[in-house]
Structure 1
Amino acid sequence: MTRQTTTAEGATPPRSGLSFKFDLQAYTLIIALVLIALIFGFFTGGEFLSSRNISNLFTQMAVIAVLAVGMTLVIVAGHIDLSVGALLGLAGGIAAILQVWYDWNTVAAVAAAIAVGALLGLWQGWWVAYRAVPAFIVTLGGMLIFRGILIGLSNGQTVAPLDDSFKVIGNSYFPYIPGYILAVVGIVLLVVWTVRNRAKREKMHLLVPPATIDYGKVAAYAVFILLAVYMLNRYLGTPVPFLIVLAIAGVFIFITNKTSFGRYIYAIGGNQEAAALSGINIKRNTLWVFVIMGALSGVAGVLLTSRLNAATVSAGTSYELDAIAACVIGGTSLMGGKGKIVGALIGALIMASIDNGMSMMNIGAYWQYIVKGLILILAVWIDISSKK
């Protein structure tokens, strides 16, 4: 048996990062995104990479990205939610109806939309967690129920127009100078996070990557953030919907990595029996996952309704498929127990880039469905192959 070298105090020294694993999947996503941008940039004469189109791309991806954040938690927990598109449409429709027909102010209408999403998510979660009905069946039924409720409430009409204060949510931009200030604050927080995380791992005598790797990543992220803000500021500024996505993603990245609830979700999806034997309350945590998914569907509904300045009975159609595809492309395993919020965001950006680029090239809409379907199948095949 090999003995482990210890320090003078008898503690195991922190291990160096020479054997630290290279996250091939994460960098493969980034490389794929860069290649997609270069290909579409070439075939559109550089228009795809223009500041105006990049700004539009970030705005367009916001709705799917918000759904993908919640869907990541659902899939990691070992479930699926097919109702998010219909729930998005219902929540956005309720917000529009309350404001246009009943003169509710924007804050109250938005709060109502999110609350409705959370309550309906609670209802679905109760069936899944406490009545053991498969999530596929519950959310498939929910998709039909929510779409029917929306048609009934709106009488099949398009509800519009909304107040200017509501339209601002999905169509406004963060000013230039504040945008740069926000970018610098984000970079500083990233540096502080990295320093504290390294210190914590060293204190616990865990594997610590070489400083050049950690701080090299921070430098690369900083360059990307500043470049993105520069490109967006060349048009009208940073889109507010994109900032909302970043805020939501930041919250859930913290939750999944730094809280017991986040760890429980991964444990439940990885091995439910082992999680139960470990004392994890599977029913309660599963219920909360669906509540969160419902609330985020409400947020996505507000963003879409605001951007379109109207609520329609078809709003959110097929969005659940795009959200699932974004998660799977981003590395979330449909088997449960594996997935990252950042990967889901990159997946959402890839999906939006494909739609946007093919539209700019005047390629038929049917090709967009075909390409996205093939990418989804390929992503699942890669996931299954990597497990083998």
Structure 2
Amino acid sequence: MADTPPTTTDIPSNDTDLSPVGRFLRATEIDTRLLGMIGALMLIWFGFHFYGVIVNGQGFFLTPRNLWNLSVQTSSIGIMATGMVLVIITRNIDLSVGALVGVTAMVMGILQVEILPQYLGLGHGSIWIVTVIVGMTLGATIGAFHGWLIAYRGIPAFIVTLGGLLIWRGCAFLAAGGKTISPVDETFALLGGGPYGAIGSTGSWIVGLLACAGVLWMLYSGRQNRRRHDFRLRPMWAETFLGALGCGVILGSVLLVNAYPWPKGIIRQWAARNDIEVPAEGLFISHGFAIPVLILIVVGILMTILMTRTRFGRYVFAIGGNPEAAALAGINTRWMVLKIFALMGMLAGLAGVVASARLNSATNALGLLDELYVIAAAVIGGTSLAGGVGTIYGAILGALVMQSLQSGMVLIGFDTAIQQIVVGMVLVFAVYLDNLYRSKSK
């Protein structure tokens, strides 16, 4: 009798020797490193909050206002961290990203404040569009130049980007003679957040419901693909749990951002401009999701698709796993490195857009030490400095961890020196954990 083809099953019988937690993790396929990062994030959040309760009698960390501001502060670092994942996976490093934020922000500031209004008119609707395109193009051009020096001239990435850190920081200073350029275009400033740089309650619910639909569609299409290729299926309870968890986090986020109202002064200004009478009890107008947070989410989705669904992403992991074997397999590794650094530069330009819009100005200090936080975010998020391993969502979560540490230390009154010491210790500890994890997984 001929053998019958195997059929898809939910859980193989040999899972009975695992613990209940092991069976749960195997059934849901949740990344244990992701759980570790979420646990560390919760520890940081609750730790800072209860420290405030003990010292001041009131916690300030786990409030809608602080968490909303935290999400905005994380945006620029998170955007760059998604690109740093690719750089580190291919066994390179980019120390110039903070300087790129500074120089692109300064060029964009000069462009929209001093140059474009002369030709287009003050407040013209296309000023912000031209500015964003120029900033991202400049970042991509500088990044491509770095990649060319690294890939085609054989200069180590550490040296090229360290030189770039100094060069572009100096160029940012010389561009405006050390002056601060402000205020930026009103529409451009919305890209940095604030009461007007958010989509409000209704827009947030629309985004949240669309995101929930996306989560459910991903689970459904993933299950169909597994069945089509005779891969093992997750049990239905695991699919249901993942869907409920994803939608719960999304809808919880919507409730959180909608719980943070506009300040009373902003409401009075808005009401006066629109001839609206403010009642005695006041008006409650929700911020909703900030625009820079939505930019980060879109970048994260696009970068995840790039890394997991395209040939480019497969080539990135192949180069990181074994550069020599990748070259022998026909991958143009030098051209890939140039494109990766160009992408990193473009994302740094986009981070410059968000950072300068948030400050409503371009300053010489913009992006200072951002390279430290970006690299730390990628490493904390599970990107291995040995190359070949990394995830986009991990880097974004790592950026949130880093920004939570910094924000919490500011709230409890730690000075800058202590903050830098803690960040440095966290970075070293993250690399140690990565080495430990890789040694145990061999």
Q: 1:215 matched to which residue of 2?
A: 240
Which residue type is aligned with residue 223 of structure 1? G
1:304 aligned to which of 352, 355, 363: 355
Q: 1:214 to 1:270 in 2, by over 3 A?
A: farther
Q: How does 1:189-200 map to 2 (within 5 A)?
A: 189-200=214-225
Separation (CA, whole Å) in 2 of partners of 1:6 and 1:290: 52
Unaligned runs of 5+ in 1: none
Q: 2:327 matched to which residue of 1?
A: 276
Q: What displacement does 1:71 show?
A: 0.5
Q: What displacement does 1:215 show?
A: 3.2
Aligned partner of residue 47 in structure 1, secondary structure: coil
Q: 2:397 matched to which residue of 1?
A: 346
Q: How does 1:157-176 map to 2 (within 5 A)?
A: 157-171=179-193, 172-176=197-201
Which residue type is aligned with residue 94 of structure 1? V
Q: Is the 8 A contact 2:383 2:389 kept in 1?
A: yes
Tell which deviates more after alignment, 149-158 or 90-99.
149-158
Which residue type is aligned with residue 161 of structure 1? P
Q: What displacement does 1:198 show?
A: 1.8
Separation (CA, whole Å) in 1 of partners of 2:152 and 2:222: 38
Aligned partner of residue 61 in structure 2, secondary structure: helix
Aligned partner of residue 145 in structure 2, secondary structure: helix
Q: Is the 8 A contact 1:333 1:383 kept in 2?
A: yes
Q: Is the 8 A contact 1:100 1:160 kept in 2?
A: yes
Which residue type is aligned with residue 335 of structure 2? R
1:136 aligned to which of 158, 164, 186: 158
Separation (CA, whole Å) in 2 of partners of 1:307 and 1:81: 24
Which residue type is aligned with residue 28 of structure 1? G
Q: What displacement does 1:246 show?
A: 0.3
Q: 2:41 matched to which residue of 1?
A: 33
Separation (CA, whole Å) in 1 of partners of 2:47 and 2:371: 27
TM-score, normalising length: structure 1: 0.95
Which residue type is aligned with residue 106 of structure 2? G
Q: What displacement does 1:46 show?
A: 2.9
Separation (CA, whole Å) in 1 of partners of 2:311 and 2:329: 13
- Structure of greater Rg: 2
Separation (CA, whole Å) in 1 of partners of 2:116 and 2:78: 30
Separation (CA, whole Å) in 1 of partners of 2:337 and 2:39: 34
Q: Is the 8 A contact 2:203 2:288 kept in 1?
A: no
Paired residue total: 381
Which residue type is aligned with residue 250 of structure 2? I
Q: 1:101 to 1:205 in 2, by over 3 A?
A: same
Tell which deviates more after alignment, 209-218 or 368-377.
209-218
Separation (CA, whole Å) in 2 of partners of 1:348 and 1:309: 23
Separation (CA, whole Å) in 2 of partners of 1:130 and 1:288: 12
Which residue type is aligned with residue 163 of structure 1? D
Q: 1:252 matched to which residue of 2?
A: 303
Q: What displacement does 1:6 show?
A: 5.8
Q: 2:132 matched to which residue of 1?
A: 110
1:94 aligned to which of 101, 107, 112: 107
Which residue type is aligned with residue 243 of structure 1? L
TM-score, normalising length: structure 2: 0.83
Q: What displacement does 1:176 show?
A: 0.3
Q: 1:58 matched to which residue of 2?
A: 71
Q: How does 1:117-156 map to 2 (within 5 A)?
A: 117-156=139-178
Which residue type is aligned with residue 231 of structure 1? L
Separation (CA, whole Å) in 2 of partners of 1:375 and 1:166: 35
Q: 2:84 matched to which residue of 1?
A: 71
Separation (CA, whole Å) in 2 of partners of 1:22 and 1:316: 34
Separation (CA, whole Å) in 1 of partners of 2:379 and 2:149: 25
Instruction: State whether structure 2 residue 190 is matched by structure 1 residue 182.
Output: no
* Deviation digits for residues 89-146 of structure 1 (CA, Å, limit 9, x no counterpart): 1111110000111135111111100000011111111111222211111111111111
Separation (CA, whole Å) in 1 of partners of 2:9 and 2:421: 48
Aligned-pair identity (%): 38
Separation (CA, whole Å) in 2 of partners of 1:262 and 1:16: 30
Which residue type is aligned with residue 138 of structure 2? V
* Deviation digits for residues 173-214 of structure 1 (CA, Å, limit 9, x no counterpart): 111011111111011111111211121122122333333223
Tell which deviates more after alignment, 81-90 or 20-29.
20-29
Separation (CA, whole Å) in 2 of partners of 1:23 and 1:168: 36
Separation (CA, whole Å) in 2 of partners of 1:17 and 1:223: 26
Q: What displacement does 1:17 show?
A: 4.3
Q: What displacement does 1:327 show?
A: 0.6
Which residue type is aligned with residue 405 of structure 2? I
Tell which deviates more after alignment, 335-344 or 192-201.
192-201
Q: 1:14 matched to which residue of 2?
A: 8
Q: Is the 8 A contact 1:6 1:13 kept in 2?
A: no
Instruction: State whether structure 2 residue 231 is matched by structure 1 residue 237.
Output: no
Which residue type is aligned with residue 364 of structure 1? D
Separation (CA, whole Å) in 2 of partners of 1:208 and 1:167: 47
Aligned partner of residue 81 in structure 1, secondary structure: coil
Q: Is the 8 A contact 2:101 2:366 kept in 1?
A: yes
Separation (CA, whole Å) in 2 of partners of 1:240 and 1:6: 57
Separation (CA, whole Å) in 1 of partners of 2:190 and 2:64: 20
Q: What displacement does 1:22 show?
A: 5.1
Q: 2:365 matched to which residue of 1?
A: 314
Separation (CA, whole Å) in 1 of partners of 2:323 and 2:180: 44
Q: Is the 8 A contact 1:117 1:298 kept in 2?
A: yes
Separation (CA, whole Å) in 2 of partners of 1:17 and 1:381: 34
Separation (CA, whole Å) in 2 of partners of 1:238 and 1:372: 28
Q: Is the 8 A contact 1:59 1:242 kept in 2?
A: yes
Unaligned runs of 5+ in 2: 16-25, 53-57, 118-126, 261-286
Which residue type is aligned with residue 14 of structure 1? T
